Protein backbone atom coordinates (compact mmCIF):
# COMPACT_ATOMS: atom_id res chain seq x y z
CA UNK A 1 0.00 0.00 0.00
CA UNK A 2 1.27 3.45 -0.84
CA UNK A 3 0.86 6.48 1.45
CA UNK A 4 0.71 10.08 0.29
CA UNK A 5 1.59 13.12 2.37
CA UNK A 6 -1.33 14.65 4.27
CA UNK A 7 -1.28 17.75 2.03
CA UNK A 8 -2.16 15.50 -0.90
CA UNK A 9 -5.55 14.63 0.62
CA UNK A 10 -7.52 16.74 -1.90
CA UNK A 11 -5.65 15.12 -4.77
CA UNK A 12 -6.41 11.71 -3.31
CA UNK A 13 -10.13 12.48 -3.07
CA UNK A 14 -10.08 13.66 -6.69
CA UNK A 15 -8.10 10.60 -7.76
CA UNK A 16 -10.40 8.19 -5.95
CA UNK A 17 -13.44 9.80 -7.53
CA UNK A 18 -11.87 9.70 -10.98
CA UNK A 19 -10.63 6.11 -10.53
CA UNK A 20 -14.13 4.90 -9.60
CA UNK A 21 -15.74 6.87 -12.44
CA UNK A 22 -13.17 5.60 -14.93
CA UNK A 23 -13.54 1.97 -13.90
CA UNK A 24 -17.31 2.26 -13.67
CA UNK A 25 -17.68 3.74 -17.15
CA UNK A 26 -15.51 1.05 -18.74
CA UNK A 27 -17.49 -1.65 -16.90
CA UNK A 28 -20.91 -0.23 -17.82
CA UNK A 29 -19.95 0.22 -21.48
CA UNK A 30 -18.45 -3.25 -21.56
CA UNK A 31 -21.50 -4.91 -20.05
CA UNK A 32 -23.73 -2.95 -22.42
CA UNK A 33 -22.04 -4.87 -25.24
CA UNK A 34 -24.10 -7.91 -24.31
CA UNK A 35 -27.25 -5.93 -25.26
CA UNK A 36 -25.69 -5.42 -28.71
CA UNK A 37 -26.21 -1.67 -29.09
CA UNK A 38 -26.07 -0.26 -32.61
CA UNK A 39 -23.23 2.17 -31.99
CA UNK A 40 -22.26 2.41 -35.67
CA UNK A 41 -25.67 3.86 -36.60
CA UNK A 42 -27.12 5.06 -33.29
CA UNK A 43 -30.85 5.68 -33.08
CA UNK A 44 -32.00 4.75 -29.58
CA UNK A 45 -30.87 6.16 -26.26
CA UNK A 46 -28.98 2.92 -25.63
CA UNK A 47 -27.17 3.22 -28.97
CA UNK A 48 -26.16 6.81 -28.24
CA UNK A 49 -25.08 5.88 -24.72
CA UNK A 50 -22.76 3.28 -26.27
CA UNK A 51 -21.13 5.96 -28.42
CA UNK A 52 -20.93 8.68 -25.79
CA UNK A 53 -19.89 6.47 -22.87
CA UNK A 54 -17.11 4.90 -24.94
CA UNK A 55 -15.77 8.33 -25.82
CA UNK A 56 -15.99 9.32 -22.14
CA UNK A 57 -13.97 6.23 -21.25
CA UNK A 58 -11.23 7.27 -23.65
CA UNK A 59 -11.39 10.88 -22.45
CA UNK A 60 -11.01 10.03 -18.76
CA UNK A 61 -8.20 7.52 -19.26
CA UNK A 62 -5.35 10.09 -19.53
CA UNK A 63 -6.45 11.88 -16.36
CA UNK A 64 -6.64 8.59 -14.47
CA UNK A 65 -3.19 7.54 -15.65
CA UNK A 66 -1.70 10.95 -14.83
CA UNK A 67 -3.14 10.94 -11.30
CA UNK A 68 -2.01 7.36 -10.78
CA UNK A 69 1.56 8.32 -11.71
CA UNK A 70 1.48 11.56 -9.70
CA UNK A 71 0.12 10.06 -6.50
CA UNK A 72 2.54 7.17 -6.58
CA UNK A 73 5.41 9.58 -7.27
CA UNK A 74 6.54 7.64 -10.32
CA UNK A 75 7.08 10.56 -12.65
CA UNK A 76 10.29 10.80 -14.65
CA UNK A 77 10.94 12.12 -18.13
CA UNK A 78 10.05 8.84 -19.77
CA UNK A 79 6.87 8.47 -17.75
CA UNK A 80 5.75 12.01 -18.50
CA UNK A 81 6.49 11.60 -22.21
CA UNK A 82 4.46 8.39 -22.29
CA UNK A 83 1.60 10.08 -20.44
CA UNK A 84 1.60 12.92 -22.98
CA UNK A 85 1.65 10.61 -25.98
CA UNK A 86 -1.05 8.41 -24.46
CA UNK A 87 -3.20 11.45 -23.66
CA UNK A 88 -3.04 12.70 -27.25
CA UNK A 89 -3.93 9.23 -28.51
CA UNK A 90 -6.80 8.67 -26.07
CA UNK A 91 -8.42 12.08 -26.53
CA UNK A 92 -8.09 11.80 -30.30
CA UNK A 93 -9.69 8.33 -30.12
CA UNK A 94 -12.57 9.77 -28.08
CA UNK A 95 -13.22 12.53 -30.61
CA UNK A 96 -12.79 10.24 -33.62
CA UNK A 97 -15.23 7.74 -32.07
CA UNK A 98 -17.97 10.38 -31.85
CA UNK A 99 -17.26 11.60 -35.38
CA UNK A 100 -17.14 8.11 -36.89
CA UNK A 101 -19.96 6.37 -35.04
CA UNK A 102 -22.08 9.27 -33.85
CA UNK A 103 -21.92 11.39 -36.98
CA UNK A 104 -21.38 8.62 -39.50
CA UNK A 105 -18.12 9.94 -40.95
CA UNK A 106 -16.36 6.75 -42.03
CA UNK A 107 -13.05 8.53 -42.70
CA UNK A 108 -12.67 9.13 -38.95
CA UNK A 109 -12.33 5.37 -38.53
CA UNK A 110 -8.70 5.49 -39.66
CA UNK A 111 -7.96 8.25 -37.16
CA UNK A 112 -9.72 6.24 -34.45
CA UNK A 113 -7.75 3.08 -35.26
CA UNK A 114 -4.43 4.92 -35.31
CA UNK A 115 -5.20 6.74 -32.06
CA UNK A 116 -6.28 3.57 -30.26
CA UNK A 117 -3.17 1.77 -31.50
CA UNK A 118 -0.94 4.62 -30.32
CA UNK A 119 -2.63 4.71 -26.91
CA UNK A 120 -2.39 0.96 -26.39
CA UNK A 121 1.26 0.80 -27.44
CA UNK A 122 1.98 3.68 -25.09
CA UNK A 123 0.18 1.88 -22.28
CA UNK A 124 2.36 -1.20 -22.83
CA UNK A 125 5.47 0.97 -22.51
CA UNK A 126 4.07 2.83 -19.49
CA UNK A 127 3.19 -0.44 -17.78
CA UNK A 128 6.75 -1.65 -18.37
CA UNK A 129 8.26 1.51 -16.91
CA UNK A 130 5.98 1.35 -13.86
CA UNK A 131 6.56 -2.37 -13.32
CA UNK A 132 10.33 -1.79 -13.36
CA UNK A 133 10.21 0.31 -10.18
CA UNK A 134 8.50 0.35 -6.83
CA UNK A 135 5.68 0.25 -6.04
CA UNK A 136 4.78 -2.12 -8.87
CA UNK A 137 1.01 -2.05 -8.48
CA UNK A 138 0.55 1.07 -10.70
CA UNK A 139 2.07 -0.94 -13.56
CA UNK A 140 -0.37 -3.77 -12.84
CA UNK A 141 -3.24 -1.26 -13.01
CA UNK A 142 -2.09 0.01 -16.42
CA UNK A 143 -1.47 -3.47 -17.84
CA UNK A 144 -4.77 -4.83 -16.50
CA UNK A 145 -6.61 -1.83 -17.91
CA UNK A 146 -5.14 -2.58 -21.31
CA UNK A 147 -6.21 -6.23 -21.05
CA UNK A 148 -9.73 -5.16 -20.07
CA UNK A 149 -9.87 -2.70 -22.97
CA UNK A 150 -8.80 -5.38 -25.42
CA UNK A 151 -11.62 -7.60 -24.15
CA UNK A 152 -14.25 -4.86 -23.94
CA UNK A 153 -16.95 -6.73 -25.86
CA UNK A 154 -16.49 -9.80 -23.62
CA UNK A 155 -16.96 -7.98 -20.31
CA UNK A 156 -13.34 -6.83 -20.04
CA UNK A 157 -14.50 -3.51 -18.64
CA UNK A 158 -15.20 -5.34 -15.37
CA UNK A 159 -11.44 -5.99 -15.14
CA UNK A 160 -10.88 -2.25 -15.60
CA UNK A 161 -13.37 -1.55 -12.79
CA UNK A 162 -11.68 -4.03 -10.44
CA UNK A 163 -8.14 -2.70 -10.96
CA UNK A 164 -9.13 0.96 -10.70
CA UNK A 165 -11.20 0.10 -7.63
CA UNK A 166 -8.12 -1.54 -6.14
CA UNK A 167 -6.10 1.57 -7.00
CA UNK A 168 -8.70 3.63 -5.14
CA UNK A 169 -8.08 1.52 -2.05
CA UNK A 170 -4.30 1.46 -2.47
CA UNK A 171 -3.92 5.23 -2.43
CA UNK A 172 -4.20 6.41 1.19
CA UNK A 173 -3.16 9.46 3.13
CA UNK A 174 -0.28 9.07 5.52
CA UNK A 175 -1.44 8.99 9.13
CA UNK A 176 1.93 9.30 10.80
CA UNK A 177 5.10 11.25 9.90
Question: How many structural domains does the chain have?
Answer: 1
Quick one: which H or E segment has residue 75? Answer: none
Give the tens place of pLDDT for each residue, 84-106: 999 999 999 999 999 999 999 99
Global pTM?
0.89
Domain that holds residue 97: 2-173
Helix/strand/coil for 106: coil
- Residue 35 CB neighbour total at 10 angstroms: 9
What integer is the mean pLDDT of 66-90?
92
Q: Is 145 exposed, middle or buried (0-12, 13-18, 19+ CB in 10 A)?
A: buried
Q: Is the pLDDT of residue 173 over 80?
A: no
Amino acid sequence: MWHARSDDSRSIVLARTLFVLLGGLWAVRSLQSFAEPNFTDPESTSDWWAVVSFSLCWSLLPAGLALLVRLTQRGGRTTHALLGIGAVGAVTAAIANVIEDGMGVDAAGSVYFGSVSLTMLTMIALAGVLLAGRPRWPGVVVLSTLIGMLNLEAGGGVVVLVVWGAATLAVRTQTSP
